[in-house]
Structure 1
Amino acid sequence: MRIAHISDLHVSSPLFEPEWGDKLIRCLNEADLDLVLVTGDITMNGHLYEYQLAKEFLDRIEPRIMIIPGNHDAMNDGYELFEELFGTRKPFFENEEVAILGLDSSEPDINDGQIGRHNYPIIKEKLSRDKVRILALHHHVIPVPKTGREWNILSDAGDVLSICIDMDLDLILSGHKHLPWVWELQGSHFVTAGTACTRRLKGRSYPSYNLIRIDGQHILLDQVNLLTGEKKRMIDKFHQPSRS
């Protein structure tokens, strides 16, 4: 199975680069993907016209797409527009190889996020089967280096981290910080995607996305430089059955 993980498109931002957006669409449509996973911040301020722009952009993606909102998307009652245009804020995908659960970690009109105790049983229910298991959310669970002061990881990051480790989840995918990064903790990999097509970049970083390949229980993840197409191998691992 081939999955692209993209994040923080901000299609309505003055720093959105249409040329980069067009290139991203071409790359995704030519990559023989089974799924495109978007971990939030498709808009800048959650207004209706921004959501309409985002939908027009995302509708150009030909593979199946799975989207969760980010903190920018929840602004100005945007979370209601998200449901109207894209459906559930808790999407779930499953086949014989993988189970993927997306959860909305955003809070209206603030940058902070949380999963919330009411969602913990959903994680345990949906990601309990012995296959590659992926949790997707917008906010990162572990702080990302070189992104300034850290005050908006999940407010319940400790509880979520404990669940991920106890369940031996394979991948925890997020965005939010506009800088690609990977942490490995007790066999679970916490993956933050960079911004895919805006100039809201950190330092000398570049627009990027992640390409995930799952072959049985073998998991590969490459970070892809959108501008050059260069790939950097970030993860090469095998799924470990849950110990719980």
Structure 2
Amino acid sequence: MAVDPVDHSGSTPGNVMARLRRPHSDDRTRIAVVADPHVSTREEGTSKLFEHTEAHLERAVADINDRGVDYTLCVGDITKDGERWNFDAADEILADLESPFRSIPGNHDVEKDGYDHENLPLAEFEERYTPGGLPFHERVGGVDVVGLNSAGGDDWLTDSHDGLVTDDQVEWLDGTLPELDTPLVAVHHNLPTMADQLVQHRDTNEPEMAIPPTMRDPEPLLDTLAAHDAPLVVTGHLHLPSTTTERGVREIMSPTTCSFPQSYLLFDVGPDGTEIRLIPVADHEGMMLGHFERHQDSYTGKGLTDMAAIRLAQFPLVDES
């Protein structure tokens, strides 16, 4: 299903995170990418600032509405842990969006062993957030948005928060990518070289830092992306802005709206390539709170906060213009 573009009369705030030669399109298209909102209505505290998650998502929605956005894409973890009431709360906020909204699931959106609450079934997640189920393809202006599920479902990957793009999805992707002009592939979990950045930071700066769940058996996915020269993959999961390339495939990781640096990304795709800007959803006081809470949460939280701060200081992370 094609989504018609809208007028891009909004301003372009925030800081430039990346300028890429690809993807490019004659039809200018603006896509907002939101990652890991972790909406929670009954919890407080932690580095995710649960008591602020609704307000952060509300600010993202309000800002997106001011930016002439064609399409809003979430790369997963809409909720704290897949609770139906948290999905309902997120939907109330997202109902104010003036652009179409789509999402892929994150590891905190799907069923996991040990949960003591009713989880939103994957089929209902697809009914709410994807056009025709997962995986999906949707033409948006000059961009072909492709959504994959690396998070799991009601009866698979329930024993882990690791990621996996299943063989049937890889087969679907292999048949779909050759038909697309300007693919932008969304998946929650990260490619291996992104995880390598965490290992490097741990080994250099934070030896007690744990490595969050990673993608299992990524080679079939990478083989397919590389074989079809897919220009861009957008991910979430680690709650920080970063980028990497692997076998010619560019990955852009979006920060989260819930924890430092509370932000979303704005992708502008045009004839000269793609410009990506980071848009904060918290003021100075909120950023200080987010930094403090995440930094003191754990060795892992400290390491990820330091990585985020380092990358923010290096913007733009890549400039191919």
TM-score (norm 1): 0.84
Gaps of 5+ in 1: 239-244
Residues 121/194 of structure 1: CA separation in 2 closer, same or farther (3 Å cut): same
Q: What are the Cα deviations for residues 185-220 of structure 1, in whole angstroms up to 9, with x where unaligned?
A: 344211111111x13x4xxxx112111111136222
- Partners of 1:235 and 1:26 lie apart in 2 by 28
- Indicate the percent of aligned positions where both proteins have the same amino acid: 24
Matches within 5 A, 1:35-114: 35-75=71-111, 77-78=119-120, 79-87=122-130, 88-95=133-140, 97-108=142-153, 109=158, 110-114=160-164
**Residue by residue, what CA displacement relative to the aligned partner does 1:119-173 show, whole Å, maximum 9, x if unpaired?**
1121122221462211101111131535843352211212212222222111111
Q: Which has the higher strand share?
A: 1
Match of 2:228 among 149, 157, 167: 167
Q: Which has the higher helix share?
A: 2
| Letter aligned with residue 39 of structure 1 | V
1:121 is matched with: 171
Per the alignment, residue 241 of structure 1 pairs with none
After TM superposition, the score normalised by the length of structure 2 is 0.65
Q: Is the 8 A contact 1:8 1:178 kept in 2?
A: yes
Change (3 A) 1:98 1:129: farther
Which has the bigger relative contact order, CA under 8 A and spacing at least 6?
2
Query: Matched residues in 2 for 1:96 and 1:56: separation?
Result: 26
Partner of 1:137: 187
Instruction: Determine if contact 1:182/1:192 at 8 Å carries over to the other structure.
Output: yes
Contact 1:172-1:188 within 8 A present in 2 as well? yes
Structure 2: state its 5+ residue gaps.
1-28, 112-117, 203-208, 285-311
Task: Give, in whole Å, the separation in 1 of the partners of 2:215 and 2:230.
Answer: 18
Alignment map for 1:128-207 (pairs within 5 Å): 128-129=178-179, 131-142=181-192, 143=195, 144-145=197-198, 146=201, 148-150=209-211, 152-196=213-257, 198-199=258-259, 201=260, 206-207=261-262
Distance 1:178 1:119 in 2: 25
Give the greater-gyration-radius structure (CA). 2
The answer to whether the Cα contact below 8 Å between 1:101 and 1:126 also exists between their aligned partners in 2 is no
